[in-house]
């Protein structure tokens, strides 16, 4: 596109499904200081390495639709319950 922006796909991971590492309805994403990627989905918050490798999952009460990390590395999550919860992420 003349004069327009150019996008370049840098990374992609996951697929549609119900297995660990797959997504049903991903809604929000956050990245911690170690580069781990946290993705909210119906089944909880899934955690991935920087290369997209599935690391695990943890559950939240309700459905998380907002996430952010503090400078100290704690994860704040907003859910549909309505709740705001904080998680201490252990390395």
Beta carbons of 64 and 77 less than 8 angstroms apart: yes
User: Where are the chain's structural domains?
Assistant: 28-87
Rounded Cα distance between 61 and 40, Å, is 12
**How many Cα atoms are found within 13 Å in the side-chain-facing hemisphere of 51?**
1
Query: Per-residue pLDDT for 4 more than 90?
Result: no
- According to DSSP, residue 73 is labeled S
* pTM: predicted TM-score of the whole model, two decimal places: 0.86
Q: How far apart are CA 34 and CA 44, in angstroms?
A: 20
* pLDDT confidence bin for 2, thresholds 50/70/90: low
């Amino acid at each position: 596109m003349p004069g327009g922006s150019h996008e370049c796909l840098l990374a992609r991971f996951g697929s549609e499904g119900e297995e660990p590492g797959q997504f049903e309805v991903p809604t929000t994403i956050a990245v911690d200081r170690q580069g781990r990627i946290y993705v909210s989905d119906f089944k909880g918050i899934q955690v991935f390495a920087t290369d997209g490798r599935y690391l695990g999952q943890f559950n939240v009460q309700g459905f998380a639709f907002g996430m952010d990390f503090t400078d100290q590395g704690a994860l704040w999550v907003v859910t549909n319950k309505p709740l705001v919860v904080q998680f201490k992420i252990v390395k």
